[in-house]
Amino acid sequence: MAEKAKIGIMISGRGSNMAALVYAAKARDCPFEIVLVASNDPQAAGLSLAEAEGIATFAHPHKGLTREAHDAIMHDALVGAGAEYVVLAGYMRILSDSFVDHWTDCMLNIHPSLLPLYKGVDTYQRAIDAGDKMAGCSVHLVTPELDDGPVLAQTEVAILPDDDADSLAGRILIAEHQLYPRALAQYVTREADPDWILAQVRQRALALDETHERASFGAPGWRVGSETTGKYFAYFAQSHHGEASMALLVKTTGLDEQTALIDADPDLYYAPKFYGKSGWIAIRLDTGRTDWDHVADWLGKSWRMVAPRRLTRMIEIADQF
């Protein structure tokens, strides 16, 4: 199994979501492990639970410190513990922009509402007062705006006719405990998800000038030029002919370059069936260590090879400087 993602959890109180994550992480096939539980409150109940489970803990009160100074202390503790992701589990402090920036795309939060509804506090009462039929919880990526980042997963929880905020909160909490470990597991393994990988390729291919997507024999492909006269510069191959389960096909300068690449790194490159003889090369995207800048470079090179002269001329001129 691939190495587990290293998680630092931040709590302020009870820590029941933290407990759910800690127990989930005990499964042998869980793709994450908890390397630290950190709190802004040394008395937080969740800390003793984490300690009893043999997990490293860290606490530093925020009193008397600026937000930035306190966040920097928490940040150092997380980095020191080897955390690759920060998971907020009832961490009841607004984080400074610089802390959030450091952990962009690597920090998750759980919030007891169906975001974008009811950001902030009193989510249960607000849902009841609004006469909603459904409440719920959301796991989202953290961005500088409070409770505003992209939602990764949600669970709906029905509101019962005689619910009050407490009874509803109790049921939502059960849903949170199910949702958070699952959403986190999915997120840390997203790079193995074919849809995520295809989206990465697509974004980089379509960022090049005058490109569009067109399927070729069922495989996504990208062309440069007009819809009628455009030429393919890349294909996305999935589970083709028993080769790598996912690969990007791009054009090389010819068979010599293709052979040299395969000789230099046979784990990354291979000659794709049917296209190989014309110098196309397959770059594996299923190694778990894809260098996306490298993929972007390849797409650019392949694009140049087939793009109309009027597009490449500009680049040649720019290259001279």
Shortest separation between residue 57's beta carbon and ligand GAR, angstroms: 15
Residues in the chain: 321
Shortest separation between residue 28's beta carbon and ligand GAR, angstroms: 25
Task: Compare residues 12 and 259 and give the one whose CB is closer to ligand GAR.
Answer: 12
How far out from the chain centre does Cα 209 lie?
Answer: 27
What is the edge-to-edge ordering of all strands in the sheet holding 134-141?
57-59, 32-39, 5-11, 85-88, 107-111, 134-141, 151-158
Cβ-closest position to ligand GAR: 90
Shortest separation between residue 30's beta carbon and ligand GAR, angstroms: 18
Task: Compare residues 111 and 204 and give the one whose CB is closer to ligand GAR.
Answer: 111
CA torsion through residues 41, 45, 48, 50, sign = negative
For residue 260, CA distances in Å to 126, 243, 251 come to 64, 19, 14
Annotated catalytic, 111?
Answer: yes
Given 62, 70, 102, 111, the catalytic residue: 111
Shortest separation between residue 66's beta carbon and ligand GAR, angstroms: 22
Shortest separation between residue 173's beta carbon and ligand GAR, angstroms: 6
**DSSP reduced 3-state for 8:** strand
Based on C-alpha coordinates, what's the Rg of the chain?
25
For residue 228, CA distances in Å to 18, 214, 231, 233 come to 55, 11, 9, 15
Pure H helices in the chain: 16-24, 45-52, 67-80, 97-102, 123-129, 165-188, 194-206, 255-264, 292-306, 309-319
Tell which residue, 132, 137, 74, has the closest CA to residue 107.
74
Shortest separation between residue 247's beta carbon and ligand GAR, angstroms: 41
> Footprint of ligand GAR on this chain (CB under 6 A)?
11, 13-17, 89-90, 110-112, 147, 173, 176
**DSSP reduced 3-state for 252:** coil
Task: Compare residues 175 and 192 and give the one whose CB is closer to ligand GAR.
Answer: 175
Task: Compare residues 110 and 283 and give the one whose CB is closer to ligand GAR.
Answer: 110
Task: Compare residues 88 and 283 and give the one whose CB is closer to ligand GAR.
Answer: 88
Tell which residue, 102, 106, 92, has the closest CA to residue 5.
106
Catalytic machinery residues? 111
